[in-house]
Amino acid sequence: MTGNERLQFCRVCTNRKMDLKEGILCNLTSRKADFVEECKDYMKDDTVKEITTTDASDELQSHEVIANFSERTLTKLREEQNYSRALIVGIVAGIMGAVIWGAITVATEYQIGYMAIAIGAAVGLLMREVGKGIDQKFGFTGAIIAVISCLLGNFFSLVGFLAINEGLTFFETLLAIDYSQVIPLMIETSSPIDLLFYGIAGYEGYKFAFRTFTEEEVATLNQ
């Protein structure tokens, strides 16, 4: 029986206890479970939902498990982080998302607020994939990039509409625009619902930027 399979029993046993460094331990021995086929002291806690094999493969957020890792494990995980790559990929994803937002808004003549949610998720998930971050700077960076990208998407929309009205190309308009009027115009054309979508985008950029772990990975890392 693997450590992960034992963990499924321990999580629903009344004799369990949580240790911040070791994770779930047996309250009777103060050790990790080491039984082979079955535990003679196992007593099912009916108030806890039993975890299936599928549940054990579900992803856990860093903040849910990081307190259970030893300093040696945390050092190893931090060595696997790549903030520079995550930053670059996050910025590229944000710019691409802003361009798509602007193009869709101009084409449909309608601002789709859900684009902000998509941008936040894309920025965060791509940063997670390449950065493998567990430190707070990954989350804060993801949130900042997501919000700035949403603002940039709105800016591109305004430039696109102006270009059409004036019969200019997008890039000609970018060069000719009076940038001192950009912020007042964006404030004038925004609505309270925009702030809600920006907030959601920032939250997703923060949440999704962190590395995730399966329960099996947590059990393996803690060995």
Domain boundary assignment for the chain: 3-56, 83-212
Q: What is the mean pLDDT of the chain?
A: 84
- Among 114-118, 140-144, 201-205, name the one with the lowest average pLDDT: 114-118
CA gyration radius for the chain? 24
96 pLDDT band, cuts 50/70/90, is very high
Q: What is the pLDDT of residues 9-58, one digit of tens each?
A: 787 888 887 765 566 788 888 888 888 778 888 888 776 554 444 444 45
- Among 29-38, 91-100, 197-206, name the one with the lowest average pLDDT: 29-38
Cα distance between residue 55 and residue 46, in whole Å: 17
Strands (E), 22-170: 23-26, 59-61
pLDDT the model gives residue 53: 41
Cα distance between residue 217 and residue 67, in whole Å: 15
Which letter, b or e, does each residue of 38-73 get, where b requires 16 or more Cβ atoms within 10 Å of its Cβ? Answer: ebeeeeeeeeeeebeeeebeeeeebeebbebbeeeb
110 pLDDT band, cuts 50/70/90, is confident
64 pLDDT band, cuts 50/70/90, is low
pLDDT the model gives residue 44: 83
Of the two residues 138 and 43, the one the predictor is more confident about is 138
Q: Which residues have C-beta within 8 Å of that of residue 91, sequence separation ≥ 6?
A: 145
Asked if 27 contacts 222 with a C-beta cutoff of 8 angstroms, the reply is no
pLDDT the model gives residue 88: 97
pLDDT the model gives residue 50: 47
Of the two residues 77 and 142, the one the predictor is more confident about is 142
pLDDT the model gives residue 22: 64
Extract long-range pairs of 185-191: CB within 8 Å, 24+ residues apart.
185/158, 186/151, 186/154, 186/155, 186/158, 189/154, 189/158, 190/154
**% the chain with pLDDT above 90:** 36
**Residue whose structure tokens are 């599928």:** 54
| Average pLDDT score over residue span 157-162 | 90
pLDDT the model gives residue 51: 44
59 pLDDT band, cuts 50/70/90, is low
